[in-house]
């Protein structure tokens, strides 16, 4: 069964460093998403991506964040200059259409020290 994969599973970085989180969505899906979950808090929407552009983003998704689909299979989330409060589990998801369910990856745990 197709699944969404994410790498790495755990990333430790120092404050101020850039990180790139990688996702491989399900191959025939058209919509791509990033969510995050800070420890002890709700899963929060960050951004949706369709047709090679951001279709919707939350207030959290400021200029420090960017997304890209560089090669038709990968979907990446970049944080330019990490802060302590960026420590969270980041989930990638994909879906065939906005009316369809989203399939989630296992997550990348980002720890900023």
Say how far apart CA 67 and CA 21 lie, in whole Å. 10
* 104 binding other proteins? (CB under 8 A): yes
User: Looking at beta carbons only, is 93 or 112 nearer to other proteins?
Assistant: 93
Answer for which of 29, 67, 102, 112 binds other proteins (CB under 8 A) is: 102
Whether 93 contacts 106, CB under 8 Å: no
Nearest to 47 by CA among 37, 36, 58: 58
Answer for which of 8, 17, 56, 78 binds other proteins (CB under 8 A) is: 56
Say how far apart CA 15 and CA 64 lie, in whole Å. 13
**Interface residues toward other proteins, by CB under 8 A:** 4, 31, 33, 35, 41-45, 48, 50, 55-56, 58, 91, 93, 95, 97-99, 101-107
């Amino acid at each position: 069964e197709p699944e969404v994969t994410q790498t790495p599973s755990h990333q430790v970085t120092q404050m101020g460093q850039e990180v790139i989180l990688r996702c491989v969505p399900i191959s025939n899906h058209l919509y791509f998403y990033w969510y995050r979950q800070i420890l002890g808090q709700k899963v929060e929407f960050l951004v949706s991506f369709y047709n090679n552009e951001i279709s919707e983003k939350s207030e959290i998704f400021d200029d420090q964040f960017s997304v890209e689909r560089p090669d038709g299979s990968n979907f990446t989330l970049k944080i330019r200059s990490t802060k302590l409060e960026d420590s969270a589990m980041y989930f990638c998801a994909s879906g065939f259409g906005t009316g369809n369910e989203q399939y989630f990856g296992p997550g990348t745990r980002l720890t900023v020290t």
